[in-house]
Amino acid sequence: MRLFTYLAKLLLTVLLLWAFVYGLVRELTPDPGSALSGLNTDAATRRYLEAELGLNQPFPIALGRSLYRAVQLDFGVSLRTRRPVLKEIAAPLMLTGRLALVVAILSTVVATLSFVLGLLRAIGVSSAFASAAAALAALPGFLLALLLAPWFPAYGLEDPAPRWMHLILPSIALLVPLLPYALSTGLRLAQDLRALPWFETFIAFGFAPLVIVTTRGRRWLLRGACNIAISSFLVAFTGSVAVELVCGLPGLGTAILDAIDARDLPVVLAISALTGAFASALVLTRSELERYADG
């Protein structure tokens, strides 16, 4: 039943998101053809785009048709390269996904270390630390990438440097604002765990904190790890647009900016809808895992 509710929620969110994006593009523009393809586009491209987006059909029919095609992962053809959109965005999607995964793993490691430290030394989160953390967390990754560029040079993919090196600067730029969040999440989790009566009882009987956690507190660990890993992945995945631009990384952010420059609307729509659907799936998964961990 829980799985069914989760899937229903996920489907509803994705449908709403797709309808919102499609409706925004189609209904709120006085002349969708020229607004979407640009005033200087030739008539053939404009006709193709109008047919592709169903602009010559009533809204419900066009929306249903576009949803049916999206479910089949058919997002049309890129106006710029004439290749299928999915093939066009597959490589950037993988690259941004890999970057977000690196950031998520690193922040989870930091959170785990701070959790262990908080558990062993009973360190809490002070108000001064929370204020400093909030100030640091507000810094956007691309400004950090600019400031760190002299020390961690950016490598484009065409650079002869090993492939992992092009992820160093963007990973650091995306990770630094997340560090305070990872640290405080780990410390707060340890603080909450130490305050539980059953935990105090085990401590009174002479059990080591780490032994108690690995035997009795697995749900707590799962809750904390899921929260930090999924949140970090989301922040890195959706926030990498300008970082990729600064670091010369041809990821999803660079792809959407190029598509906007070229008014390649099928690519813009596909990236917006896919990223939104993916983000909503992750948000829902996180809340479901938290609910499971809470018992």
Partner 1 sequence: MVSALPYQTPSAEFWLGTDALGSSVAIRLLIATWETLYTVAAAAAIAAVLGTLVGAALAFSGQSRLRALCETLLGFAYAAPLLLLVLLLVVVYGDRPWVFPSVGILAWGGIALSAATSLERIINSGFVRASRALGATPLAAYLRHGIPHALPTVASATAALSAQLFQLSVLLAFIGVGRSGLGNLICEGYEVYPTVWWTWLPATLVAALILSGSAWLAQRGGRYG
**172 near 152, Cβ under 8 Å?**
yes
Window contacting partner 1 (CB under 8 A); options: 11-19, 52-60, 100-108, 154-162: 11-19
CA dist 196 and 171 (Å) reads 36
What is the distance between the alpha carbons of residues 247 and 268, in angstroms, rounded to a whole number? 21
Tell me, letter by letter, the H, E, C secondary structure of 167-192. HHHHHHHHHHHHHHHHHHHHHHHHHH
Is 242 near partner 1 (CB under 8 A)?
Answer: yes
Residues, the chain, total? 295
Residues 81-120 that bind partner 1 (CB under 8 A): none
Measured from the CB atom, the residue of 36 and 228 that comes closer to partner 1 is 36
Tokens of 193: 């765990």
Nearer to partner 1, 27 or 159 (CB): 27
**Is 7 an interacting residue with respect to partner 1 (CB under 8 A)?**
no
- Half-sphere CA count of 270, side-chain side, radius 13 A: 29
Least Å distance, CB 231 to partner 1, is 12
Task: Enumerate residues 138-177 that contact partner 1 by CB under 8 A.
Answer: 138-140, 142-143, 146-147, 149
Q: Which residues contact 71 (CB under 8 A, 6 or more apart)?
A: none
Which residues in this chain contact partner 1 in the complex, by CB under 8 A? 13, 16-17, 20-21, 24-25, 28-29, 35-36, 127, 130-131, 134-140, 142-143, 146-147, 149, 238-239, 241-242, 245, 256-257, 260, 263, 265, 268, 271-272, 275-276, 279-280, 283-284
